[in-house]
Amino acid sequence: MATRIFVTGTTGFLGGTTLNLLLTAFPDASYSALVRTSEQADALTSAHPAVTPVIGDISSTEIVVPAAAAADIVIDIAGDNDAGIRNILAGLASRPQKGTLIHVSGITCLLDPANLKLGHATPRTFGDVDDMAEILSFGPDREHAALDQFVLRAGDMGVKSVILSSCQILGHGAGYWKQESFGHGYVKTVLGRGKAFTVEQGGNVWSWCSVGDVSSAIGFVLEKVLNGSSDLQFGQDGYYFVQTGEVSFKQQAQAAATKLKELGKLETDTVDELTVAQATEIHPYAGLLWGASCRSRADRLKALGWTPKETDWKILMEEVAAAAV
């Protein structure tokens, strides 16, 4: 019998791109995907006739628990949703042969809300080997932390769980519903303002990875699950960063501005340095969106053999700028 895979978040930027990859890389599996509306279900069926749409909200016990129970593996790319995770785990745990969860999280758990230093680089880069114990002991004031820790306790229910914690995702998506993300939003804000900008001097640094490579990391882990590879760890040891390199926001802003000027969409590629207060007038969460700094290093996944293929952030940022105009 074909392996049954249930995927959430496929209408999103990363989820849609990942579904494309999975269908190509693992064509013998049987797929179902959660969507919220009949319109999204029609779009999914049109793009991927072999995928069975499951219509409903991830927080719906009546919808998600049986969908997860019918799957051998759930790939959750729907973001933080406590009720949704509980539904997925309840379904996987109800199976005679307990299922496996691959959950995609994010590195914003590394942001210390009491010490953000917006517009400046944080000096520390977290690795998922030496810093694992600290990462998994963060309190509930850190984004993702409480839910990540709950996911990694899924072994108490007999379910194997793996977390892939992604950094900033660059590039243009390849999904059937949404192809845009963070970078596109910044470019559109710049176009509306008429000039690029940073928060303070834009020295804040983020780890980054292309959307295609984050998708490939999900496929890499899925292949190890399917093969029963002994080197992939689960539960409390199943936390892996996904990351290619680092880039400052100033560099991203300048690359976007230069590309937009080249395309005739801006008169100048000069980048303004805005105070946090000035940036907040543009967007209420401007400080976090464009001024925070978050740095990770994917030691474990790379040691297992995963290698990112898109290693030039500037090409990806220029791709986003061209797509967003």
Q: What is the rounded distance in angstroms from the CA atom of residue 160 to the CA atom of residue 156?
A: 9
Q: What is the rounded distance in angstroms from the CA atom of residue 224 to the CA atom of residue 3?
A: 13
DSSP H helical ranges for the chain: 13-25, 38-47, 61-69, 82-93, 132-135, 145-151, 182-193, 211-227, 249-262, 276-282, 286-291, 299-304, 313-324
Backbone φ and ψ for 112, nearest 5 degrees, come out as -90, 110
Instruction: Give the per-residue pLDDT at 324.
Output: 86
Instruction: Give the per-residue pLDDT at 180.
Output: 95
Instruction: Give the per-residue pLDDT at 1.
Output: 79
Instruction: Give the per-residue pLDDT at 64.
Output: 98
Instruction: Give the per-residue pLDDT at 267.
Output: 97
Instruction: Give the per-residue pLDDT at 283.
Output: 95
Q: What is the rounded distance in angstroms from the CA atom of residue 20 to the CA atom of residue 35?
A: 16
Q: What is the rounded distance in angstroms from the CA atom of residue 189 to the CA atom of residue 271?
A: 13
First to last CA, the chain: 46
Q: What is the pLDDT along the chain (325 residues), one digit of tens a residue?
A: 799 999 999 999 999 999 999 999 999 999 999 999 999 999 999 999 999 999 999 999 999 999 999 999 999 999 999 999 999 999 999 999 999 999 999 999 999 999 999 999 999 999 999 999 999 999 999 999 999 999 999 999 999 999 999 999 999 999 999 999 999 999 999 999 999 999 999 999 999 999 999 999 999 999 999 999 999 999 999 999 999 999 999 999 999 999 999 999 999 999 999 999 999 999 999 999 999 999 999 999 999 999 999 999 999 999 999 998 8
CB 263 within 8 A of CB 269: no
Amino acid at 105: S
Instruction: Give the per-residue pLDDT at 195.
Output: 98
Domain positions in the chain: 4-111+125-171+208-243
Cα 312 to chain center, whole Å?
Answer: 19
pTM value surpassing 0.85: yes
Q: Give the CATH class of 4-111+125-171+208-243.
A: alpha beta
Instruction: Give the per-residue pLDDT at 325.
Output: 87
Residue (of 174, 177, 136, 150) closest to 42 by Cα position: 177
Q: What is the dihedral of CA 175, 147, 118, 132, to 10 degrees?
A: -100
